[in-house]
């Protein structure tokens, strides 16, 4: 086997390694994207819950808010 053949095999293996790494990286980015979306939805839900809880705790605030919506 000549050195050119060894070099060609090395280049092919290197190319396959780069392709596998890019596929792994794409998977990681996709998972991070999904996690960020879930986290944003969770924060949004928590903020809405706190907003509603404030109205439940204070009936005057609820009355004020309802009157404000009627205008």
Predicted confidence (pLDDT) per residue in 36-54, tens digit: 999 999 999 999 999 999 9
56 CB contacts (<8 Å, ≥6 apart)?
62
pLDDT tier at 25, thresholds 50, 70, 90:
very high
Helices 3-57 and 59-70 sit at what angle, rounded to 10 degrees? Answer: 100
């Amino acid at each position: 086997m000549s050195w050119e053949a060894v070099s060609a095999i090395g280049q092919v293996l290197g190319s396959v390694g780069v392709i596998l790494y890019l596929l792994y990286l794409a998977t990681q980015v996709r998972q991070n994207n999904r996690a960020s979306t879930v986290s944003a939805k969770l924060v949004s839900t928590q903020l809405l819950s706190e907003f509603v809880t404030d109205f439940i705790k204070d009936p005057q605030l609820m009355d004020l808010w309802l009157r404000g919506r009627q205008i």
